[in-house]
C-alpha cells in the first residue's frame, strides 16, 4: 500500500455512492489503511455505469487503495466483526440512510463513549436535525434545494452542474475536517464527532450569490458562459466560428484589452465603461462591440493579441479536447478490469511520486480482514 503522512492510521468506512468514498479515498491516497465496508451486494456505485471496460467510472475514481470488506449489518456475527474493526480504528466514516448507523449500534455517540480517541464522521443529505433531516438526498436534489441550479444555465433555463458537485464538496469538507481532527488529537489524545451534510457544504459555496440577493434584493442572473458581476468576462465567437473565453478583472487589464485586443484604446475612456460596475450595467452595449470585433478575426490572431496584452483567456473545450490536453496529468491505477488512467490528484508534493493503489473487487479482502480482527478481539 502507498506510504504517506497518514501511514499507520486505520479508517473504517461504511460507505456508498460519492461523498464518503471521496473522503476515504483521499485518506487512502495519503497512506491510511481504509477498510471499505460494503453491503453483500456491494456499493451501488459499482453499478452506476459500465463505461470503463465494464466497470463504473465513479467507482474506479473513488475507491483506489481501499480494502473491500462485505458486511451484512443485519447479521449478528458481521456486526461483531465490524465492532472489532472499529475498536482498532482511528477514524470511522458512515453515510448510511438517516438513523441507520445508530439502529445497528454504530452511532457516533455510542462509539465515542466507548472509544474516546475515535474520530467519527457522519455524512448526510441535510444534517441530523430540522425538517429535512429524514429526507433522502442526492446530488441533483441538493443542487436544486440549495438554489445552485437556479443560478446555473442559460438565461431561459436553469441547469444542473455537470458533475456531482454537492457530493464532491461534502467529501472535500469531510476530508479537511478529519485532518484537523487528527491534528487536534495529537494535542488532546481525544477524538471528536464530525457531522457534515451535502446541503451545508454547497450552501457555503453559495455565499456570494446569497449575499448578492440578500443585500441587493436581486439574485445574480443566469448568464450561461458569462459572469453575472464582472464584464467583460465570457465567451465570444471568432470569425472562424471558434469560441474564445476572456476574463478582464481590473482597470489595467480593461485598458490593455481595448488597446491590444480590440485595437481601440479610446473605448477604455468612455464613461459607460469607466468601471466594472458600469461595464456590467452596460453589458449589452459592451458585448455587441466585442462580438463585432471578434467576428472579424480568427481565433488564433485573437489569442496572439490576448497574450500580447496579458489578458486571461481560455478555449471552450470538449471532453475530447480535455482528453488530449497538454496540461492533463494522469496516474495509472490497477483494477479487476485492468489498468485505468485516472486524472492525477491535484496536489503535487515535493520529494514524492504520485502513486495510486489498486481498486478492490467486491469482497476481495473480507475473509482476511474478518480473520485478522476477530482474532485481535
Would you say residue 108 lies in a domain? yes
Cβ atoms within 10 Å of 295's Cβ, excluding its own: 12
DSSP, res 126? S
**Do both 240 and 346 map to the same domain?**
no
Range of the domain at 38: 10-206+326-376
Q: What was the pLDDT predicted at 259?
A: 95
The predicted pLDDT at position 2 comes to 63
Distances (CA, A) of 129 to 34, 99, 132, 135, 208: 29, 11, 7, 11, 25
Q: Is the pLDDT of residue 144 over 60?
A: yes
The pLDDT value given to residue 20:
97
Q: Do residue 92 and residue 174 come from a single domain?
A: yes
Domain total for the chain?
2
If asked whether residues 195 and 51 sit together in one domain, one would say yes
Residues 291 and 349 in one domain: no
DSSP, collapsed to helix, strand or coil, labels residue 316 as coil
For the segment 228-237, the average pLDDT, to the nearest whole number, is 93
User: Domain boundary at 293, 315, 337, which?
Assistant: 315
- Residue 299 sits in the same domain as residue 244: yes
**Could you tell me if 157 and 255 lie in one domain?**
no
Within-domain flag for 1: no
- Please indicate, yes or no, whether the overall pTM of this predicted structure exceeds 0.75: yes
Question: Residue 143 pLDDT > 70, yes or no?
Answer: yes
Give the CATH number, domain containing residue 282.
Answer: 3.30.1540.10
pLDDT (mean) for 103-118: 94
Instruction: Scan for cell 480473520, then name that residue.
Output: 371
Q: What is the pLDDT of residue 103?
A: 92
pLDDT digits over 285-335, tens only? 999 999 999 999 999 999 999 999 999 999 999 899 999 999 999 999 999
Confidence of residue 376 (pLDDT cuts 50, 70, 90): low
The CATH number covering residue 80 comes to 3.40.50.10540
Instruction: Please check whether residues 251 and 331 belong to one and the same domain.
Output: no
Answer whether residue 377 shows pLDDT above 60: no
DSSP assignment letter at 352:
-
1-20: per-residue pLDDT in tens? 667 899 999 999 999 999 99
Tens digits of residue pLDDT in 75-86:
999 999 999 999
Q: What is the pLDDT of residue 229?
A: 87
Q: Say whether pLDDT at 184 is over 60.
A: yes
Residues 15 and 24: beta-carbon distance below 8 Å: yes
Amino acid at each position: 500500500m502507498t506510504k504517506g503522512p497518514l501511514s499507520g492510521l486505520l479508517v473504517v468506512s461504511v460507505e456508498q455512492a460519492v461523498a464518503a468514498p471521496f473522503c476515504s479515498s483521499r485518506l487512502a491516497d495519503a497512506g491510511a489503511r481504509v477498510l471499505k465496508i460494503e453491503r453483500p451486494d456491494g456499493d451501488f456505485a459499482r453499478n452506476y455505469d459500465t463505461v470503463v471496460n465494464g466497470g463504473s467510472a465513479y467507482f474506479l475514481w473513488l475507491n483506489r487503495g481501499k480494502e473491500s470488506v462485505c458486511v451484512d449489518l443485519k447479521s449478528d456475527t458481521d456486526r461483531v466483526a465490524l465492532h472489532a474493526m472499529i475498536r482498532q480504528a482511528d477514524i470511522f466514516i458512515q453515510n448510511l440512510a438517516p438513523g441507520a448507523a445508530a439502529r445497528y449500534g454504530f452511532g457516533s455517540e455510542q462509539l465515542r463513549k466507548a472509544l474516546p480517541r475515535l474520530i467519527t464522521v457522519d455524512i448526510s443529505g441535510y444534517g441530523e436535525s430540522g425538517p429535512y433531516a429524514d429526507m433522502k438526498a442526492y446530488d441533483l436534489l441538493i443542487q436544486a434545494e440549495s438554489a445552485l441550479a437556479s443560478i446555473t444555465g442559460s438565461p431561459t433555463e436553469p441547469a444542473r452542474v455537470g458533475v456531482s458537485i454537492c457530493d464532491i464538496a461534502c467529501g472535500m469538507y469531510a476530508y479537511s475536517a478529519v485532518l484537523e481532527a487528527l491534528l487536534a488529537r495529537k494535542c488532546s489524545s481525544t477524538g471528536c464527532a464530525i457531522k457534515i451534510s451535502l446541503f451545508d457544504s454547497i450552501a457555503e459555496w453559495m455565499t456570494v450569490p446569497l449575499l448578492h440577493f440578500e443585500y441587493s434584493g436581486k439574485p445574480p442572473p443566469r448568464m450561461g458562459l458569462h459572469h453575472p458581476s464582472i464584464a467583460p468576462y465570457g465567451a465570444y465567437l471568432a470569425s472562424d466560428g471558434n469560441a474564445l473565453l476572456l476574463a478582464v478583472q481590473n482597470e489595467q487589464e480593461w485598458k490593455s484589452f481595448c488597446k491590444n485586443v480590440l485595437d481601440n484604446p479610446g473605448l477604455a475612456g468612455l464613461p459607460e465603461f469607466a468601471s466594472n460596475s458600469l461595464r456590467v450595467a452596460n453589458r449589452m452595449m459592451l458585448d455587441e462591440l466585442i462580438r463585432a470585433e471578434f467576428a472579424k478575426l480568427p481565433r488564433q490572431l485573437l489569442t496572439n493579441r490576448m497574450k500580447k496584452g496579458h489578458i486571461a483567456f481560455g478555449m471552450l473545450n470538449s471532453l475530447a479536447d480535455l482528453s488530449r490536453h497538454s496540461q492533463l496529468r494522469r496516474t495509472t491505477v490497477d483494477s479487476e478490469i485492468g489498468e485505468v488512467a485516472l486524472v492525477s490528484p491535484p496536489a503535487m508534493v515535493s520529494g514524492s511520486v504520485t502513486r495510486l493503489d489498486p481498486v478492490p473487487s467486491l469482497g476481495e479482502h473480507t475473509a482476511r480482514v474478518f480473520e485478522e480482527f476477530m482474532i485481535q478481539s
